[in-house]
Amino acid sequence: MRRAVMAAALAGLLAACAGPAPAAPQPQEPAPPVRTVADCGTGVTLVDGTAALVAAIAGARPGTVIALQPGRYAGPVVVTSAGGADAPITLCGPRDAVVDGGAIEDGYTVHVAGASRWTLRGFTVRGGQKGVMLDGAQHVVLDGLLVTGTGDEGVHLRRNSTDNVVRGLTVRDTGLRRAKFGEGIYIGSAQGNWCEQTGCQPDRSDRNVVEDNTISATTAESVDVKEGTTGGVVRGNTFDGAGMSAADAWVDVKGNGWTITGNRGTAAPTDGFQVHDVAPGWGIGNTFSANTAAVAADGYAVNITRNADRNTVTCDNVAVGAARGITREPCSQ
């Protein structure tokens, strides 16, 4: 009895020394990077209306900047040309310039198909089955877009789309058609779709960066990284899992060699982050560091479901309200 009392007193003393638990991060939508057309720069091609937008995209050359006046532009908007390494093509507009894909049962609202060296900045992408689709795209930057109200995922990079950056987006209200397809940002293709998408070979949508995005009200994962992808980065994002009905983590990693760092999340359905081995040779070599996971659920901050010895979870990850702690195995110093 005396020993139990002493143990309880010691535990209380240690808790007092440790101080209060870290506060859960509160998702906040970032300020839009483009408030008016003037923020798109000078020497722009100013467009107003869908027909003018289609013509401007068709005539774009390296260095062209297309600026959208406020208003509605009917999707799909299709981009197929190439900018230059030092002169990308830019499509820019404020939040009240809305590319609208309409019905959520079919179609891609913005489709970057085999294009390279484009920057899409600031405007709103709304509706359609999928919001922004990159197919075989390289060195494309999605910057500060609002993507909302999609039937399935908000943003999808697939068919060997490499070296792209998805930065500063606000993605919300996805999965309105089918909850299980309502990811916020989706990288690659599931193995079962490789024959359809990439000639039965892995969808090597490699070295993509997903950073500083705010993702909420998604029915499936905030970020889903598929098997077949390698060497990407997921960093500095803010996730809110409230209403996530068809997933059990904010981030699901099935690829190899990904770095997941500095992210913050609240209201996870079960775990904050997960790694899965769903195809031989995949789901390994991933590193999780400096993430803050306000899980408020029964799982882990980072759940390595298999290959725990072949993935790394560092001890600077923070678990708030995660019933099972940071991760299954001891974290790495």
- Other beta carbons within 10 angstroms of residue 233's beta carbon come to 16
For residue 23, tell me if it sits in a domain: no
pLDDT tens-digit series, residues 169-191: 999 999 999 999 999 999 999 99
> How far apart, in whole angstroms, are the C-alpha atoms of residue 224 and residue 274?
10
Write out the residue range of the structural domain in which residue 99 sits.
Answer: 74-322
Written as six digits, the tokens of 83 are 């900018």
> How far apart, in whole angstroms, are the C-alpha atoms of residue 209 and residue 296?
28
Query: pLDDT class for 3, splitting at 50, 70, 90?
Result: very low
Query: pLDDT class for 333, splitting at 50, 70, 90?
Result: confident
Q: Is the pLDDT of residue 8 over 70?
A: no
Note whether 308 and 332 are within 8 A (CB).
no
Query: pLDDT class for 115, splitting at 50, 70, 90?
Result: very high
27 residue type, one letter: P
Q: Is the preceding omega at residue 76 within 30 degrees of 0, hence cis?
A: yes
- Least confident residue range of 2-11, 80-89, 245-254: 2-11
Note whether 203 and 160 are within 8 A (CB).
yes
pLDDT of residue 31: 82
Full-model pTM? 0.91
- Other beta carbons within 10 angstroms of residue 157's beta carbon come to 30
For residue 43, tell me if it sits in a domain: no
For residue 330, tell me if it sits in a domain: no
Pairing of strands 249-253, 97-100: unpaired
> How far apart, in whole angstroms, are the C-alpha atoms of residue 83 and residue 69?
22
pLDDT of residue 32: 86
Mean pLDDT of 142-164: 98
Strands across the sheet containing 271-275: 77-79, 108-113, 130-135, 155-158, 185-187, 223-225, 249-253, 271-275, 302-304
Query: pLDDT class for 143, splitting at 50, 70, 90?
Result: very high
End-to-end alpha-carbon separation of the chain, Å? Answer: 37
For residue 119, tell me if it sits in a domain: yes
For residue 57, tell me if it sits in a domain: no
Specify the CATH number for the domain of residue 175. 2.160.20.10
- Which pairs with CB-CB distance under 8 Å and at least 24 residues apart come from 276-280? 276/252, 276/305, 276/306, 277/305, 277/306, 277/307, 278/191, 278/227, 278/254, 279/191, 279/227, 279/228, 279/254
Mean pLDDT of 77-92: 98
For residue 327, tell me if it sits in a domain: no
294: left (phi over 0), alpha (psi -120 to 50) or beta: beta
For residue 60, tell me if it sits in a domain: no
Domain tally for the chain? 1
For residue 48, tell me if it sits in a domain: no
Strands across the sheet containing 233-235: 45-47, 65-68, 89-92, 118-121, 141-143, 165-167, 209-211, 233-235, 259-261, 287-289, 312-313
> How far apart, in whole angstroms, are the C-alpha atoms of residue 108 and residue 134?
10
